[in-house]
Amino acid sequence: MTEQSYAADRGFLSTGRPGILGWIFSTDHKRIGLLYLWCIVTFFCVGMLLGLLIRLELFSPGADIMTAQTYNAAFTLHGVIMIFLFIIPGIPAAFGNLIMPIQIGARDVAFPRLNLFSWWLYVTGAALALTSLFTGGGPPDTGWTFYVPFSAQTSTNVSLAAIAVFILGFSSILTGLNFVTTIHRLRTQGMTWMRIPLFTWSLYATAWIQILATPVLGITVALLFVERMLGTGLFDPNLGGDPIMFQHLFWIYSHPAVYIMVLPGMGVVSDIVPVFARKPAFGYKAIVVSSLAIAFAGSLVWAHHMYTSGMSDTAVLVFSFLTFIVAIPSAIKVFNWLATLYQGSILLDPPLLFSLSFILLFTIGGLTGLVLGAAATDIHVHDTHFVVGHFHFTMFGGTGMAFFAAMHYWLPKIYGRMYNKAVATVAWGIIFIGFCVTYISMKVVGMMGMPRRYFDYVPEFTGLNQLATIGSWILGIGLALMFYNVIRGCFKGTPVEANPWGGASLEWQIPSPPPTENFGEDDPVVTHGPYDFKAAGIL
């Protein structure tokens, strides 16, 4: 495709109402997906900066660049932004919106206006969360988990943050509802359930969790709000309440939430690996079933976050046992990805590099999850930096890497332009090294006993903390290079055709960038599976 013909036809990017109004009031799933994408990337960068500041403060014991109060606010904000503004919406809202309807042969989602409303809710929630920085008693200092009694008593602006989280949750719910309906009702002719790409399957499983678990977060933050505003005392022992009940309600959502975070990432990897191994996915059905199994089993285990809270020993036993079960479907996926790669014809392009890091780092994160899931060992590492290392391995090494993989895989389709693959590879290498230095050090120092959310630490932990901080700088450099390269690629990269990677799913059969109505006048008819390269005429 020449630069001229590309400029002439930029598909959905140039059709429709002109100017910014044509974007922020668009009901085109692709435009909404990009609106989400750029907001999400922006908030990731803000969260990343906060992370770098936290690591800078932890460079040596005592105060380095901030007071203890500021530190508390910094890790709270880092968590709130990364979780509610980056990871949870992340892949579903950005890439789910961009790609899923195309993958099933639809023109759009089931409820396009609701989809736009979801984005507006996201923006509103984000605005309110950021407003809490500057209003009321200042930014919340409770940690993103908002535990009572402190969250009910602190003078910082927890109330506004609670409202923001409620609105963000509502955005997530509506997206989930939209996606489930879309996948049930709008599959094109020939797109049977067993021909749906694994990315879309992962979004389906995720959407169910969004629908069923998020409302519990809603009621939890609403209860916190009335506890603060009206003094309802439902979690206050003086009024007969039970603070541990807050933790139950909170984690009933927040544990399934981590599967909202990781399932789409797994879906991205499941789509990418076959394409870059030039082999159909190994165990397609097993991956489908395991996605649904993770969604279900993930809602049985929440109190493994609460072993030291004071809940009953019986509960500790039951939840520890159940937690081991949820590791099984995740492991099944890892085996399937590896089996897909085995004896494949491997193309080490950036999407695969990020996917391979996902597989490795998520596995390590998952294994450390077993240390945490086993109650006996958890007693030693609960609320230490071991936990922080664990969830950064799974959420950053896992979902984060998958998000980057998705960017490198699908943005050339969306913008019709390819980034510099060599630079992307170098950026990936720097990120990988920086990541390992940062978070392995963190896990070791956590194992040695360094608590999390502490502003200070004993001198014995200094070396590892400094190593982790240096790692964070390497990570930051890698991320900056990666974003620079991939974003530049979107607007100034070499134009590409419809199928630069040789994929067999439907999104690769339409032009890059896609036209507004995706498939033109007639709906597509599907005759083969999403990884059937032979039938698609690609192999």
Partner 1 sequence: MSGHEHRDDVGARFGMWLFLFTEVLLFGGLFILYAVYLHRYPHEFVTAGGELNVWFGGGNTLVLLTSSLCVAIAVTALQRGNTTLCLRLLGVTIFCAALFMVNKGFEWSAKIGHGIYPGSAHLHDLPPGEAVFFNIYYVTTGLHGIHVIIGAAVLIWTMVLIKKGRVNAGRWVMLENAGLYWHLVDLIWIFIFPLYYLILH
Partner 2 sequence: MTEHAHIVPYRTFFIVWGLLLLLTATTVAVAQFNLGPFNVWVALLIATVKSGLVIAFFMHMKYESRLFLLALFAALAILAVFIGLTFFDVLYR
Contact flags string 94-123 toward partner 1, x per CB under 8 A = -------------x--xx--x---------
Single out the residue of 303, 361, 418, 468 in contact with partner 2 (rule: CB under 8 A): 303
Cβ–Cβ < 8 Å for 57, 98: no
318 lines the binding site for partner 2 (CB under 8 A): yes
Instruction: Decide which of partner 2, partner 1, none touches 311; Cβ closer than 5 to 8 Å per partner kind.
Output: partner 2
Residue at 159: amino acid letter: S
**Which residue's CB is nearer to partner 1, number 107 or number 452?**
107
Minimum Å distance from CB 285 to partner 1?
A: 25
Q: Does the footprint of partner 2 cover residue 248 (CB under 8 A)?
A: yes
417 three-state secondary structure: strand
DSSP code at position 451 = B
CA distances to 116, 206, 311, 406, 416 from 104, rounded to whole Å, are: 20, 17, 46, 18, 21
Q: What is the DSSP letter of 418?
A: E
Can residue 456 be called a binding residue for partner 1 (CB under 8 A)? Answer: no
Place of tokens 């720097």: 430
Residue 178, contacted partner among partner 2, partner 1, none, CB below 5-8 A by kind: partner 1
Q: Which of 238, 314, 343, 345 binds partner 2 (CB under 8 A)?
A: 314
The answer to the question of residue 299 lying near partner 1 (CB under 8 A) is: no
The answer to whether the beta carbons of residues 514 and 34 sit under 8 Å apart is no
Whether cis (ω within 30° of 0) applies to the bond prior to 495 is no
Distance CA 466, CA 56 (A): 9
Q: What is the 3-state secondary structure (H, E, C) of 483-508?
A: HHHHHHHHHHCEECCCCCCCCCCHHH
Question: Is the Cβ–Cβ distance between 368 and 393 less than 8 Å?
Answer: yes
4 binds, among partner 2, partner 1, none (CB under 5 to 8 A by kind): none
The one-letter amino acid code at 259 reads Y
Q: Which does 173 bind (CB under 5 to 8 A by kind): partner 2, partner 1, none?
A: partner 1
From the CB of 218, what's the least distance to partner 1, in Å? 6
**Residue list 208-227, contact with partner 1 (CB under 8 A):** 211-216, 218-220, 222-223, 226
Neighbours of 45 (CB within 10 A): 15
In the list partner 2, partner 1, none, the entry touching 300 (Cβ below 5 to 8 angstroms by class) is: partner 2
* Cβ proximity to partner 2, 177 vs 388, nearer residue: 177
Nearer to partner 1, 241 or 389 (CB): 241
Which of partner 1, partner 2, none lies near 303, with the C-beta cut-off 5 to 8 A by kind? partner 2
Paired tokens of 131: 């407003």
Which of these ranges, 30-38, 315-323, 336-344, 494-502, lies near partner 2 under the rule CB under 8 A? 315-323
Mark residues 207-236: x for contact with partner 2 by CB under 8 A, - for none. -x--xx---x--------------------
Give the residues across from 495 on adjacent strands. 417
Own/partner contacts of 141-145, CB < 8 Å, gap of 24 or more, are: 141/69, 141/72, 141/73, 141/76, 142/72, 142/76, 143/72, 143/75, 143/76, 143/79, 143/453, 144/76, 144/79, 144/80, 144/83, 144/84, 145/79, 145/250, 145/254
Q: 314 touches which of partner 1, partner 2, none (CB within 5 to 8 A by kind)?
A: partner 2
Based on the shown chain and the rule CB under 8 A, indicate whether residue 315 belongs to the binding site for partner 2.
Answer: yes
d(CA 388, CA 454): 12
CB of 319 to partner 2, least distance (A): 8
Q: Is 138 left (phi over 0), alpha (psi -120 to 50) or beta?
A: left
Choice between 236 and 383, CB closer to partner 1:
236
102, 186 contact by CB (below 8 A): no
* Binding positions for partner 1, 29-68, rule CB under 8 A: none
Q: Token pair of 118, please?
A: 């979801």
User: Does 319 engage in binding with partner 2 (CB under 8 A)?
Assistant: yes
The reply to whether 36 sits near partner 2 by the rule CB under 8 A is no
Residues 225-284 that bind partner 1 (CB under 8 A): 226, 230-234, 237-242, 245, 248-249, 252
Which one, 320 or 394, has the nearer CB to partner 2? 320
- Cβ atoms within 10 Å, residue 18: 9
Binding string, residues 255-294; x marks residues near partner 2 by CB under 8 A: ----------------------------------------
Helix axes 385-394, 243-277, angle to 10 degrees: 40
CA angle 359, 58, 158 (to 5 degrees): 85
Altogether, the residues listed in the chain come to a count of 539
Q: How many residues bind to partner 2 according to rule CB under 8 A?
A: 19
- Is residue 181 within the footprint of partner 1 (CB under 8 A)? yes
Report in angstroms how near the CB of residue 55 gets to partner 1 at its nearest.
36
Sites of contact with partner 1 (CB under 8 A)? 107, 110-111, 114, 173, 176-178, 180-181, 184-186, 211-216, 218-220, 222-223, 226, 230-234, 237-242, 245, 248-249, 252, 521-523
Sites of contact with partner 2 (CB under 8 A)? 184, 208, 211-212, 216, 244, 248, 252, 299-300, 302-303, 311-315, 318-319
